[in-house]
Amino acid sequence: MFPPVGARTFYFKEKRCGWRDDITPLARLLTVLATLRTIAVSICGVLCGMMEEFDHEQEQPVEEITLAPEGSEWVILHTRPRAEKKAVQAFEFAGATLYLPLRRKDHRYGARLRTFWSPLFPGYVFGCFESREVHKLKSNQYVANVLTVVDQAGLVHQLNQIQQALAAGELVDVMPYLEKGKPVRVTGGPFKGVEGIIERLDKKTRVVISIEMIQQSVFMEVDSAYIEMIN
């Protein structure tokens, strides 16, 4: 005589979901690790697919940046941390003209080479807006401040130069803006960690830093690649 159907079903689930008595704890651990690995691989595949789609969206045709039409002006948006692309999307949706210079970065993860696009000037987006609307830009959740531009033609020229350099596909990176009399810190080379004041910029992109020591000055030449400004 067979047991009720419900009892048979319960017995099946119990045997299916439980551990067999002859399986050792090590075998159980290996089974759990294999399951976790399968889940991790699946998640990684989804994320890589999303990143690949995102990367392709960054490769846009190069168009010349022109002067703002009458009644409009170029301004610089100082965005909140890591909000540059969100600000661009928000204002482009409203019909504004935005320019966010992006630089390409390649990262290798084992045998896989991934391409990422990050802002060339973190925290800054260039936009063309109607002059009467500029004072409203700070109300956007992604904008921390708005910098007005006096020399509109000069800014447009500089942006076109940056865009041309990025379009060439060569390595483009940001160097610190060095100015005489500004405090700086040496980040590499034999003088790493030394702080001082920029005394002179020569033609070979070398800097001479004056360091105050017991009311005397010590001069040294440092490659500008090893210089960072001190706020």
pLDDT tens-digit profile of 48-64? 554 443 444 454 555 78
* Residue bearing tokens 């500008």: 224
pLDDT band for 9, please (50, 70, 90 cuts): very low
Label residue 127 exposed, middle or buried (CB < 10 Å: 0-12, 13-18, 19+).
buried
Contacts of 206 (CB under 8 A, 6+ apart): 221, 222, 223, 224
Q: Please indicate whether residue 56 or residue 110 has the higher confidence score (pLDDT).
A: 110
**H-run or E-run covering 93:** helix 84-93
Given CA atoms 14, 17, 18, 20 in this order, what sign does their dihedral have? Answer: positive
Compute the distance between CA of residue 161 and CA of residue 168 in angstroms, rounded to an integer: 11
pLDDT at res. 52: 42
Tens-place pLDDT, residues 131-167: 999 999 999 999 999 999 999 999 998 888 888 777 8
Label residue 143 exposed, middle or buried (CB < 10 Å: 0-12, 13-18, 19+).
buried
From residue 114, alpha-carbon distances to 50, 101, 153, 191 in Å are 12, 20, 37, 35
pLDDT at res. 54: 43
Sheet holding 206-213, edge to edge: 216-223, 206-213, 195-201, 183-186, 227-229
**Average confidence (pLDDT) over 79-96:** 92
Tens-place pLDDT, residues 183-231: 888 888 887 887 787 776 664 445 555 544 435 566 677 777 788 888 7
pLDDT band for 105, please (50, 70, 90 cuts): confident
pTM for the predicted model, two decimal places = 0.59
